[in-house]
A = this chain, B = another copy of it.
Amino acid sequence: MTMTTFFSLLEQRVAASDSLLCVGLDPHLHDLPTPTADSALNFCLHLVRNTAPYAAAFKPNIAFFEVFGAEGWRALQALIQAIREQADRLGSPIPIILDAKRGDIASTAEAYARSAFETLGVDAITLSPYLGRDSVEPFLGDPTKGVFLLCKTSNAGSMEIQNLLVLPVGSDRPMPLYLYIAELAVAWNQSGNIGLVVGATHPQIMAHIRAAAPGMWFLAPGIGVQGGELEQALRAGLRSDGLGLLINVSRSIARSDDPVRAAAHLRDAILRLRNSLKR
């Protein structure tokens, strides 16, 4: 019997939906008919209803709710509830990853963990590694809750710090910071509930990180508007079992005239490419 972890729950959903697609729920102000929390909620509910059958996971980014203050938080809580109900109708729980990129000292991290996993009740959260292990540990106590640690992000500015060559203590072999973070994450992953954020915009780098963390799940933003290419990302990031890579797509589904078709098309394109790479 293997332990139930966030990632085993995710793998159940991947099997049930035959999908590696993570649908990003990012209600950008300029995509909303009116700048209100209700409008942000409706924007996301429309996406959830249309894409749930094709979603291995949903990833709301909390920034687009915080813009509306307390009302935005209320909308986020309603959205999470609606995703749970939609998944019940489908008969298959859909993991919710809160994109929050938090990172603070342990006593504060405990409050953030409680906020995400208890108050909001999401299944996983994205975290920044800059403060070190003690800032991540408060999120790891419950193995059914997951953490995606920022390793190599999809933006241009990620080169400035994440690509720096670092000299680990006791080593004379310089390595990029993102690779060092991947190695730390593997060492910190005692409960099997850590994954990595690895942008799809840098497939060669993704391949290096995959070599350093062969068993980990990657959450990969950057496909679509940000310019990442799907086939290269799958080639670089899939585990040897054909899993381990969640392709996050936000704007190209949300801004499509037909989000059902856009999500179905992406889910199928990922599957087809994955299956052709397997052979």
Contact = CB atoms under 8 A, between A and B. Distances in A.
B68 A132 contact: no
- Report copies per complex: 2
Given A115-B63, A119-B66, A128-B128, A184 B160 contact: yes
Interface in A183-233: 184
Interface in A162-184: 162, 164-168, 174, 177, 180-181, 184
A28 B106 CA distance: 12
Contacts of A101: 102-104, 128
Given A103-B101, A115-B66, A167-B165, A133 B108 contact: no
Say whether chain A's binding surface is mostly helix, strand, loop, or mixed.
helix
A107 interface: yes
Contact of A103 (B26, B128, B154, B166): B128
A70 interface: yes
Given A101-B102, A155-B135, A69 B77 contact: yes
Interface residues of A, number: 61
B67 A26 contact: no
Interface of A: 26, 28-29, 61, 63-64, 66-74, 77, 99, 101-109, 111-112, 114-115, 119-120, 128-135, 150, 153-162, 164-168, 174, 177, 180-181, 184
